[in-house]
Amino acid sequence: MKVSLKWLAEYVDLVLPVKELAHLLTMSGTEVGGIQERGNGWTGIVVARVEALARHPTAESLTLATVGLPGERVTVVTGAPNLRVGNKVPYAPVGGRLTDAHTGKEAVVEVANVRGVESRGVLCSEKELGLSEAHEGVLILPAEARVGQPLAAVLGDTVLDLEITPNRPDCLGVLGVAREVAALTEQRLRVPDLAYQEAGPDVRGLAQVEILVPGLCPRYSASVIQGVAVGPSPSWLQARLAAAGVRPINNIVDITNYVMLEYGQPLHAFDYDALLGRRIVVRQFTSGESLRTLDGIVRPLEPGMLVIADAERPAALAGIMGGSETEVTGRTTNVLLESANFDPVSIRRSCRALRLRTEASSRFDKGLSPAITTLALRRATKLIVESCGGRAAHGVLDVYPLPRDPIELRLTPVELRRVLGIELTPAETRSVLSRLGCVCREDGRALLVTSPEHRSDIRIPADLVEEVARLIGYDRIPETTMAGHLPEHAPQPMRGLIERLKDLLSGCGLQEVITYSLVGRLLLGKTHPEAEPGPIDALRLANPMTPDQEMLRTSLLPSLLECVATNLRPDEPGLCLFEIGCVYLPREAELPEEREILVMAMAGPRWQRQWNEAPAELDFYDLKGAVEEVLARLNLQGTRFNRIAEQGLFHPGRTAAIDWKDVRLGLMGELHPAVARNCEIRVPVFLAEFDLEQLLNAVGVDFLRIEPPPRFPAVRRDLALVVEERVPASELLEVIRQAGAPLLAGVELFDLFRGHGLPPGHKSCGVALIFRSPERTLTDAEVADIEAHILEQLGAVIGARLRG
């Protein structure tokens, strides 16, 4: 909310420099988002009076305006269509500074020759003064402005941009902010005078008010003013509204808006003569009715929505917008002014259903205090009587079926210390609360506090504790270290595993990415081998922001692939990526299962082109190596990679299931070429996916036994073994391991050869056998015995033999 300091100063003496005031407000909960000094840059700009207007001799759209200044007259060429003789206008002389309306930059006024006529100076628009974006005409100043007066003295102001939190609807008016300033700076508040001449007949004879649903309308106050002259507002009022960003309409409507900005209480003016039966009935909308609102739209109201009706039909959407049938127009002479209080929940629901929010509704839906309806009503009635002519009826109508009893809250020094950690005397507490308008009674060391009726947010003692804290200032509260016992913390094994995995994976050269949890159908289609995801069982958003974020993912691979696709660039190192995150699996009438998943991807050059390495591409075995390393570091002994076919977006011939005991930990393999094409990826991509729930079950099962460093030397024997292609390497190694136990300490496959010199359908595997005994140095004869046994088993089990 924008608050003019000039306006604010009508209600409270501003005793602090503006920066200090802004600081105090910010610290106490009303954040000042910005301070706008209006008029700072108005160098040389003064008030001038339009003395004569003439058409430009050659240009039809231009006007020669002769303006009067003290002791001189100047002629200015202007394109503004809105000038009248006698207007007071801002005049920037030659040498003056203003904002160029076209470039938006500061410019110095120079003598100009406009189509053959000399123009000395500029009559300024709001835009040229930096007030707003309006540039359709010259800004017309209030008639009271004196010719020659610096513009800054007329329009100069400081505007605070305040963030009012939802709990403080009382600050949605300048008066409320003034009350806050008064409390913070210990100044007296000056409330507006509400007395006016009640020259008309008794209001009770003019109209009746009836509330059929007191729960939705706790209070309805109204006044009637007869014989008003509807027309433009006085310029001071227009200026106030313009400063607050409200467009002037007519004097009656402007006054209701002005009082709303002042008191925070929205008002509505009805054309009294358009109200059938001279009755106001606050009731719920019933089907079969209709209402056209002020903006000319017939609103699809729903039964149950609160309306203000006359004797027969809805006349306004309560607290949101008036109806066009009863609106104040140029022909209106009698006005019924409404100042009511509505249930915030009802207002919110109607607004949501109608997708309509207004200045009024956004105040009512915060829960205004019913106490202020009559104050705002009298204020507006007074202003109408004073500036629109007309006679106010005697008295006001005020239906207040459920007046709220003030509550008395008990606040003790013990409670203040318990929450704030600071000692305050009852006297100090009392003085602080009194500044806010609270009435305090002492009861021993305790205070019995009644909060002012405009503060409907103060309901429990904790609310008072906060008021005390923010008024004495949070700075006064010391900083201490928590005492007390440390709680016992439950172990978080999944969190531990995830953190460990992140370290291991980044250690293996993989870059972590974090993609969006929300995905769209388009992406799921692209990453499906058939380019069509089919029915997807996923949680969908009821209100998605964009189609590419419409549902919660059930796999991390599509998002990771997207990441691969966007990051594959020529001349950049290959991609080694991983992500750990949740998939969201729907369950019956429960929150979804949020399952932690690890995905990995590799693609592109193994390393950046460099002078001392031959170029190479990342392949299946780069990814497998990383997987093996991670699993080994997690001490998963005996994990197996088994080739499987037909697994989603994986290549049917190049995919492995990763198993440990009888648990399937995950899958890894090459991306299906069809998916790669859909995603416009032109290099092979290798992917792995792990279910961390399964991994967590496997971790910590095997006992990790640490052996002393070996005391005796190892013996290494290299063998070249010829075996049929169909025998997987894992089987060959397993036969060797079993046959070589227990003295075979390790076996490594260090070479693989196919082709020349081998029988067709065979391969040659170079295998290193490492023999070692923990007790002695092995003899050649011992090693030869085991080796022979291994070869015999190799031949018997898988038909492998030494390469001749």
- Restricting to residues 664-683, which ones interact with another protein according to CB under 8 A? none
Residue choice 576, 601, 602, 719 for contact with another protein (CB under 8 A): 576
Q: Is 555 in the site for another protein (CB under 8 A)?
A: no
Q: What CA–CA distance (Å, rounded) separates 492 from 132? A: 57
d(CA 770, CA 786) in angstroms, rounded, equals 11
Query: From the CB of 599, what's the least distance to another protein, in Å?
Result: 13
Closest C-alpha to 667, from 652, 685, 647, 683 = 647
Minimal distance in Å, beta carbon 137 to another protein? 34
Q: What 3-state DSSP class applies to 451?
A: coil
749 binds another protein (CB under 8 A): no
| Shortest CB 187 distance to another protein, Å | 20
Smallest gap from residue 547 Cβ to another protein (A): 13
Give the Cα separation of 278 and 281 in Å (integer). Answer: 10
Note every long-range contact of 179-183, with CB atoms under 8 Å and residues 24 or more positions apart, other chains counting: 179/11, 179/12, 179/437, 179/454, 180/25, 180/28, 180/30, 181/8, 181/12, 181/14, 181/21, 181/25, 182/11, 182/12, 182/435, 183/435, 183/436, 183/437, 183/471
Label residue 562 left, alpha or beta by phi (over 0 means left) and psi (-120 to 50 means alpha). Answer: alpha
Nearer to another protein, 215 or 227 (CB): 215
DSSP state for residue 293 in the 8-state scheme: B
Number of residues that bind another protein (CB under 8 A): 96
Cβ atoms within 10 Å, residue 283: 17
Please list every residue from 24 through 83 that binds another protein, using CB under 8 A: 26-29, 31
Which residue number, 561 or 786, has a Cβ lying nearer to another protein? 561
Among 97, 348, 391, 661, binds another protein (CB under 8 A): 348
Q: Judge whether 62 and 178 are in contact, CB under 8 Å.
A: no
507 binds another protein (CB under 8 A): yes
Which is nearer to another protein, 462 or 788 (by Cβ)?
A: 462
Q: Can you tell me which of 143, 191, 229, 345 binds another protein, judged by CB under 8 A? A: 345
CA distance 797 to 759: 19
User: Which residues, at least 6 apart from 540, have a Cβ–Cβ distance to it below 8 Å?
Assistant: 550, 551, 552
Nearer to another protein, 121 or 319 (CB): 319
Out of 69, 213, 276, 422, the residue judged to bind another protein by CB under 8 A: 422
Residue 486 in contact with another protein, rule: CB under 8 A: yes
Site mask for another protein (CB under 8 A), range 605-634, x = bound: --x--xxxx---------------------
Residue 557 interacts with another protein (CB under 8 A): yes or no: no
Among 404, 418, 441, 776, binds another protein (CB under 8 A): 418
Least distance (Å) between residue 319 CB and another protein = 13
Binder to another protein among 506, 635, 642, 779 (CB under 8 A)?
506
Segment lying near another protein (by CB under 8 A), choices 138-146, 543-551, 647-655, 723-731: 543-551
Residue pair 210/399 in contact by the 8 Å Cβ criterion: yes
Stretch that binds another protein, among 254-262, 267-275, 494-502, 695-703 (CB under 8 A): 494-502
Residue of 8, 21, 77, 510 interacting with another protein (CB under 8 A): 510
Residue 772 C-beta: closest distance to another protein, Å = 30
Q: How far apart are CA 503 and CA 131, in angstroms?
A: 56
Shortest reach from residue 554's CB to another protein, in Å: 11
Question: In terms of C-beta density within 10 A (0-12 exposed, 13-18 middle, 19 or more buried), how is residue 758 classed?
Answer: middle
For residue 636, the minimal CB distance to another protein (Å) is 21
Q: How far is the CB of 659 from another protein (least distance, A)?
A: 26
Alpha-carbon distance of 331 to 524, in angstroms, equals: 62
**Cβ distance to another protein smaller for residue 84 or 489:** 489
**With binding defined as CB under 8 A, does residue 265 bind another protein?**
no
Contact between residue 534 and residue 651 where contact means Cβ atoms under 8 Å apart: no
Give first-to-last CA distance, the chain, whole Å.
92
- Among positions 188, 534, 589, 775, the unique one binding another protein when judged by CB under 8 A: 589
Q: Which two tokens stand for residue 717?
A: 């024997």
Q: x/- string (CB under 8 A) for another protein, residues 161-200?
A: ----xxxxx-------------------------------
Q: Which of 87, 75, 77, 184 is nearest to 143 (CA)?
A: 87
Q: How far is the CB of 526 from another protein (least distance, A)?
A: 17
Residue owning tokens 């010199």: 757
* Least separation in angstroms between CB 431 and another protein: 19
Residue 120 contacts another protein per CB under 8 A: no
Single residue of 367, 390, 684, 740 touching another protein by CB under 8 A: 367
Q: Per the omega criterion (within 30 degrees of 0), is the bond before 742 cis? A: yes
| Residue 383 near residue 257 (C-beta atoms within 8 A) | no
Cβ closer to another protein: 393 or 433?
433
Contacts of 9 (CB under 8 A, 6+ apart): none
763: β partners: 723
Site for another protein in 455-474 (CB under 8 A): 460, 462-463, 465-466, 469-470, 474
